[in-house]
Amino acid sequence: MRRWASQYWEILQSAIESLRANPLRSLLTSIGVMIGVAFVSLMGWALRSLDAAWESTLSSLGSDMLYVDKWNWAGGGNWRTVMNRKNITIDQAEEIARRLRSAEMVYLSADAWGRSIVHADQRASGVVIEGTMASFGMLPSTSLAEGRFFSEMEERNATSVAIIGDGIRSTLFGNRSPIGQVIRIEGRPFRIIGVMSKRGTLFTDFLDRMVYIPLPAFFALYGRYSRSITIAAKAYSPSELDILRDELTGVTRAVRQLAPNAENDFSINEAQVFRDQVANIRAVIWAVGIGLTALSFLVGVIGITNVMFVAVVERTKEIGIRRSVGAKRSSILVQFLAEAMMLCVAGAVVGVIACSLLVAVLALVLRESAEFLLPVLPAEIVVVAVVISIAVGIIAGFVPALRAARLDPVEALRYEA
Amino acid sequence: MSQHPLILLDGIVKHYRMGEEIVEALRGVDLAINANEYVAIMGPSGSGKSTLMNIIGCLDWPTRGRYILDGVDVSQLDDAELAAIRNRKIGFVFQTFNLLPRATALKNVELPLIYAGVPPQQRRQRAIAALESVGLGDRLRHKPPELSGGQRQRVAIARALVTEPSLILADEPTGNLDSKTGEEIMQLFERIWRQGNTVVLVTHEDDIARHARRIIRIRDGKIESDIVNPTPHVVEPLALER
């Protein structure tokens, strides 16, 4: 065993040496593998980051929450049909909330999209003004970075207080604390009493551009019937989501007075609706990633096979010498396989290092807009990449190595370059 | 020592296919060489002497006939077994030295020991000893391109000796050297032989062959003559200044 090990260690060393004898050629040859490994790594990294974004979407929207809305959040269904749905009025919404039995908690909200707010001479646009209830502030998924949410008293009195999203805070106030400052919404002053923690994700980036005000204050700004109301209902546990969904469907259909055979004229949204989106993105990343990876490994295999054939011819004499001093066919085979493998592993190492740098830089540069990007490559992806590259080396090196091993020692010794 | 000869060739025939033609390189060679003989195999080019050397050196198989080396019928062995025989029983010295150009003298001499599976520590010691025995103790780290022709051939001889083989097989060992250096190499062979080794030289030069104690002439694939050299050119064994 030790004999065996020492001989193969020797082979590995001589493989490294012969690569170092031709550094430029080795580098150029292994570019295919480098790129292949880069694609594998980046694909794994992108999928990982996507999963992380998905996880935080689940937790920011609440995995035990259902939202009855005129709109389908995932964009499913016929757009024109959805467009033509009647708004859910505040009266309907209150009736639905009153009738629900299987919800632990219900709150109503209404949104005004694409508004602008002003603080001093600063303006933030693309803001979502959401009128909501104090109970929203009590949800476990609602977390504040600073200050407090408004109380039931403030809600009932339509007090002009606001809680702003993390994105708006950084637009209007930079690093200063906004608590106690006044912003103007549709020209009317609101006092900031709280700042939400950062909660937007890849799928819900608008969450950080929201301003929460008491629902009655919202009605005062935009009118009672101008916007469709969203009914948010929390199940007692995620496992009871189905019961809640059935009840919500039934109650909403009743309140909206739908005929028994009519389609729902509302959507029941939940964090899970983003699952389809996640699955689609995953599929695209996979397809593109696997395609590019396969292509570059194919190019890598062809390049390495070609260079190994050249190396076998160049080193015919060396093969003859080694055979004359006692190398078996198998020793020669292993030697050339080891060289092809080392080429690939070297390419893989360069590829992984380059990707690690790229990923670290990307995560740093995009930390505002794409916070879900991981700053490091997942470890198992690196392992997979190296294993694949070893396999590629063996595949690419096998035929040339076999040719080397089968050289007739007499002819190999006679060979002159 | 042993009652049977070191090399026993019995009706060795070797055919080559050259395109459509079949070349009969050896047409029935019978030959016995005992341990610690100093033999020259001579013949013009095309006589079959290179083929004979390749078969004696276990680089090639005979088409017919038996070859017993040191009591083992090597004509029956497969590739891996032949490789092991080359490794342990035969030390080659070639006209063109056949060293690995990128490896140091030390690495070159270690090479057979690597394939023999000798552990690194011991391998180094034995390779250093072999290089010192040919007077190259101060050239361990030199690579072949940094050495003179004579020095390169001495590295090759050290490589041939390092496994302590039964047979040193030298193919035109002075063919690429000037006559003075060639003479030094022949002095080295004289010493190797006197130390108890079996030396077989393959050459077409009388100047070289005359050093041997027995001269075998090959012509047209057969042994033409096999005589004890009546007037061997005895040289002083190479004395090495340290």
Q: pLDDT digits over B26-80, tens only?
A: 999 999 999 999 999 999 888 889 899 999 999 998 999 999 999 999 988 999 9
Q: pLDDT digits over B149-201, tens only?
A: 999 999 999 999 999 999 999 999 999 999 999 999 999 999 999 999 999 99
- Are the beta carbons of A304 and A30 closer than 8 angstroms? yes
Tell me the nearest-neighbour CA distance from B232 into chain A, angstroms: 30
Q: What is the largest CA-CA distance in chain A?
A: 102
**Confidence check: pLDDT of B137 > 70:** yes
Nearest Cα neighbor of B39 from B189, B171, B198 is B198
**Confidence check: pLDDT of A37 > 50:** yes
CB proximity list for A55: less than 8 A, separation 6 or greater? none
Residue with tokens 């006197």: B194
Q: Say yes or no for a CB contact (<8 Å) between A327 and B60.
A: no
Q: Is B77 part of the contact surface with chain A (CB cutoff 8 Å)?
A: no
Nearest by CB to B100, from A6, A321, A326: name it. A321
* Beta-bridge mates of residue A234: A65, A105
Nearest by CB to B114, from A7, A21, A409: name it. A7
Residues of B in contact with A6 (CB under 8 A): 114, 117, 119-120
Tell me the nearest-neighbour CA distance from B8 into chain A, angstroms: 21
Per-residue pLDDT band at B1 (split at 50, 70, 90): very low
Q: pLDDT digits over A51-106, tens only?
A: 888 887 777 778 889 999 998 887 766 778 888 889 999 999 999 999 999 999 99
Per-residue confidence (pLDDT) for residue B241, from 0 to 100: 45
- Are the beta carbons of A204 and A172 closer than 8 angstroms? no
Cβ under 8 Å to A: B residues 176-205:
none
In chain B, the residue whose alpha carbon lies closest to the alpha carbon of A17 is B102
Q: Is B46 part of the contact surface with chain A (CB cutoff 8 Å)?
A: no
Other beta carbons within 10 angstroms of residue A350's beta carbon come to 17
| A187-196, A238-247, A347-356: which is most confident | A187-196
**Average pLDDT of every residue of chain B:** 91
What radius of gyration, in Å, describes the C-alpha atoms of chain A? 32
Per-residue confidence (pLDDT) for residue B242, from 0 to 100: 41
Residues of A in contact with B80 (CB under 8 A): 328-330
Q: Say yes or no for a CB contact (<8 Å) between A10 and B114.
A: yes
Q: Say yes or no for a CB contact (<8 Å) between B86 and A326.
A: yes
**Confidence check: pLDDT of A351 > 50:** yes
Mean pLDDT along residues A301-325:
93
* Beta-bridge mates of residue B17: B22
Query: Which of A16, A324, A329, A416 is the mutation pick for testing B, counting most B CBs within 10 A?
Result: A324
Q: Say yes or no for a CB contact (<8 Å) between A318 and B116.
A: no
**Confidence check: pLDDT of A29 > 50:** yes
Q: Percent of chain B beyond pLDDT 90?
A: 80
Region class of A88: left (phi > 0), else alpha (psi between -120 and 50), else beta: beta
Residue type, A272: Q
Mean pLDDT along residues A370-396:
86
**Confidence check: pLDDT of A372 > 70:** yes
Mean pLDDT along residues B74-90:
92
Tell me the nearest-neighbour CA distance from A399 into chain B, angstroms: 19
Other beta carbons within 10 angstroms of residue A23's beta carbon come to 10
Mean pLDDT lowest among A14-18, A227-231, A343-347 = A14-18
Tell me the nearest-neighbour CA distance from B238 into chain A, angstroms: 25
Per-residue pLDDT band at A1 (split at 50, 70, 90): low
**Confidence check: pLDDT of A189 > 60:** yes
Nearest by CB to A321, from B57, B98, B114: name it. B98
- Are the beta carbons of A129 and A218 closer than 8 angstroms? yes
- Are the beta carbons of A108 and A90 closer than 8 angstroms? yes
Q: Say yes or no for a CB contact (<8 Å) between A325 and B86.
A: yes
Per-residue confidence (pLDDT) for residue A14, from 0 to 100: 78
Per-residue confidence (pLDDT) for residue A4, from 0 to 100: 64
**Confidence check: pLDDT of A23 > 90:** no
Q: pLDDT digits over A104-162, tens only?
A: 999 999 999 999 999 988 899 999 999 999 999 998 888 899 999 999 999 999 999 99
Q: Is B86 part of the contact surface with chain A (CB cutoff 8 Å)?
A: yes
ipTM of the complex: 0.94
**Confidence check: pLDDT of A6 > 80:** no
- Are the beta carbons of A234 and A104 closer than 8 angstroms? yes
Our CA dihedral for A203, A208, A209, A212, rounded to 10 degrees, sits at 120
Q: Say yes or no for a CB contact (<8 Å) between A324 and B92.
A: yes
